[in-house]
Every structure is written in C-alpha cells, then in structure tokens.
Amino acid sequence: MSRFRIFFKRSALLAIMLSVTGCVSYPTFPSATEQIPALISGELAFGAEIEPAVSADLLKMSDEMHAFIAARKILDSTIPYTRFRRLMAGLVDGGYFSNHYRADGTYSAQQTFASAEGNCLGYTNMFIALARAAGLNASYQLIENYPAWDVNAGQLVRNNHINVIVDEIGLAGRYTAELVVDFNIVQPDADFARPTLVSDAFAEALYHINLAIDELNVGDLEGSFAQLKRAALSDPENKFVWNNLGVFYSRLGKSEVAQQAYEVALSIDNRDKSALAGMVVSLTAQGQLAEAAEFERRVYWYQRRNPYYHYARANLAFEKEDFDEALVAIEQAIDLRGNDARFFAFRAATAGELGDDRLMRRSETLAAKYQKSNSPAPEKVNVSYYGKLEVNGS
C-alpha cells in the first residue's frame, strides 16, 4: 500500500564525522566532458546516429488538475500552510494514497493524476505540479541509498529515493519552515541516506533513465540508448546519466567507451562510488589490472560497510557451490544489518548445504521473525554500481 509522510525541517548545525580512509586520493578528469558528443551520438554503440527520445513535460498541468485546484478552493487562501492543507486533503479524499503504488509507474504529473497510481517519482511529479499551481514553493529532493541485491534479477539495485520539499510554509504566523512530503514505500536507510535538493532538469533526467532501464530489460537497446541520450540532454550535470551510460556500453562489450562515460561521471563527482566501481569493471575488462586495483582501493571502505555488497558476494559464492565462503559473506552482511529476513533465509539455505541443521533451523526462525517487518523489494529507476542496476525514485 502506498503511504506518505509529512514532516518539518528546521535549520540546525550539523556535526561532521571524518572517517579514516588511509589518505586515499580521488581522480579528476577535467577534460572528460569533451567526450560527451561522441558518447551520446549513437555511433560508438550502433555505428549510426540515434535520435533522442521525446522530451517529457513532467510538470505540465492538465485541465482536470486545474479544475481540482479550483474545486478545492486552494487559491482562495492567502496563507501558504492553509493552501497546503487543502491540497493534501483533496488528494487524500481523491484516493491518491490507497493501494495505487506501482513500482514501474514512472509517470508524468498528468499521467499520475489521471490514473491515481505510480511510483514515488510519478507521485512526486504530480505533487510538485499541483503545489506550484497552488502557489507553493515545491522542489525535488534526492535521497541516495546504498545498493541492495536483487536475487531474482541477479543484480545490485540502488534505490535512490525522491521526495518533495515545500519551502516557506508558515504555521499560523508563528514561524516558517520547510515541509517534506514523502511518498515512500521503501524506507531510506537512516545511516546512509543523503538528501540533496535537485533541479527540475535533474528529475527529468531521472525520468528518462527509468524508461531507459525498462527498455534495456526487455532487450530494446536502441530504445534504451535514446532514453539515455534524452537524459543527457536534459541534464548533462546529472552523474547518474553517465553511470548508466557506462553500464550500457559495458553490456555491449565496449569497456573502453564505458570507461569514458564513468570518467564524465567522475568529472562531476570524483568521489561517486558507482562511477569508481564502474571504472574497476571497465579497466579490468581491458586487462588494466594495476589501474583497476587503484580504483578498487578507493571503494574498499564503502563496500565493506555495505551489507548488500556482502550479500552479493554470498550469492556469487553460493552459485559456485563454495558454501563455506558463502557462509562467511552472509555472516558479514548480518553483522552489518541484522534484521533483514533475506539474509537469514540465505544463511538457512547455506547451512543446509553444509549440513548444519541447528544453524539452519535458527536461521529459518529469524527469517520468519523479520519477514513481517521487511520493506518491499526496491523498484527500478537507474543503472550502474559494478555493472549492475542502480535505482532512483522509490
């Protein structure tokens, strides 16, 4: 079931924690953007120019949406918080938050309003369009999370969540604050999530990246590339575009070109772990093992603190029937996140293969215990991290 959360943010001093990483330096690629025209032309992938997908007008209001604003008399009030309350009441009364969540529902504002369903990116598009029409200052906020292993798809999926910030909201003239509206079915991890205010162009790029993944998953390579090209044209400063393009070229077996795409991502954010990990994959494929090791050193700490990295290692070891190694890896995952039912189910299966019935039964009990509170599997939205899928917009 879809649900939403609303909470206030007030200004506060942030305590900054510095982690010891062994004085690791990070690369810079100041000339990487010169490679962009070639990367998005289509020639390197298909030997011919590929036209970009049609640009999406994510926030365009329909006549029905304008009528909704009028019918609820939202604009009759001069108080921003009152307009906000009327908008929320209208959406609740309209059934927009009851059993209409779709993981693959990457929709525009109009599409989400008309169908009363969608994923968090779709609902966020709709809310921002309506909020702005109601005279509210609404913006996109990105929350990055670490990747989770998707057993069915056999890939790491990074669930980067999208929500809404409504600024300059007054409460009965007492104070102003930021209001965050969160259409969230997959809870961001509080220990890792990093909220960042992003532009409309950034959100449009994410929208096209979502569609690119859908096309890639059904084998439409040209359709996927056309969506990625549109994403790049929408916001060339969106690092996820280039991470995803790196994965795309890797899947075509073009590791040198994939490396160029990751270099563009690193020219935007030279500490981005997905791009650094992508460099490991592309350099290794080219036989440049010493260079790959340097990049792997930069993501070592990040990997070791990510339970889903160890879960991925455990899955790969299990597939190779190296059950001792699988057990070691899944224990490391459990040490980092001891309430994920999937980890205990996996440990039960591994213990069964090793003939440890006691550990198997205890693991099955814990898997059943934590299954009740586990979040649904992450949805789709973005590609990368070790050549696997990365996701935005739960």
CATH number at residue 100: 3.10.620.30
Is 116 inside a domain boundary? yes
Nearest to 29 by CA among 295, 284, 213: 295
DSSP-based three-state secondary structure for 347: helix
Average pLDDT over residues 114-123: 89
Q: How far apart (Å, rounded) are the C-alpha atoms in residues 191 and 188?
A: 9
Is 319 inside a domain boundary? no
Asked whether residue 76 carries a pLDDT value surpassing 60, the answer given is yes
Asked whether residue 2 carries a pLDDT value surpassing 60, the answer given is no
Look at 106-110, 194-198, 361-365 and tell me which has the smallest mean pLDDT: 194-198
Is 350 inside a domain boundary? no
Q: How far apart (Å, rounded) are the C-alpha atoms in residues 46 and 41?
A: 9
- Give the model's confidence band at 167: pLDDT under 50 very low, under 70 low, under 90 confident, else very high: confident
Query: How much of the chain, in percent, has pLDDT values that exceed 90?
Result: 51
Is 190 inside a domain boundary? yes
Residue type, 366: L
Asked whether residue 392 carries a pLDDT value surpassing 80, the answer given is no
Look at 9-13, 45-49, 190-194 and tell me which has the smallest mean pLDDT: 9-13
Beta bridge partners of 182: 5
| The pLDDT of residue 376 | 38
Enclosing domain of residue 97:
63-206
Is 306 inside a domain boundary? no
Asked whether residue 243 carries a pLDDT value surpassing 80, the answer given is yes
- Give the model's confidence band at 174: pLDDT under 50 very low, under 70 low, under 90 confident, else very high: low
Q: Would you state the structure tokens that stand for residue 318, as one six-digit string?
A: 């299990």
Q: Would you state the structure tokens that stand for residue 133, as one six-digit string?
A: 């029409």
Average pLDDT over residues 15-19: 26
Is 103 inside a domain boundary? yes
More confident residue, 10 or 94: 94
- Give the model's confidence band at 261: pLDDT under 50 very low, under 70 low, under 90 confident, else very high: very high
Nearest to 82 by CA among 171, 164, 174: 171
Provide the number of structural domains found in the chain. 1
Is 7 inside a domain boundary? no
| The pLDDT of residue 170 | 62
Which range, 9-23, 54-68, 377-391, has the best average confidence (pLDDT)? 54-68
313 contacts: CB under 8 Å, gap ≥ 6: 325, 329
Is 340 inside a domain boundary? no
Cβ(176)–Cβ(156) under 8 Å? no
| The pLDDT of residue 301 | 74
Asked whether residue 391 carries a pLDDT value surpassing 60, the answer given is no
pLDDT digits over 198-229, tens only?
Answer: 999 999 999 999 899 889 889 999 999 999 99
- Give the model's confidence band at 117: pLDDT under 50 very low, under 70 low, under 90 confident, else very high: confident
Beta bridge partners of 69: none
pLDDT digits over 335-374, tens only?
Answer: 998 888 889 999 999 999 999 999 999 999 999 888 866 5
Give the position of tokens 């990246």: 209
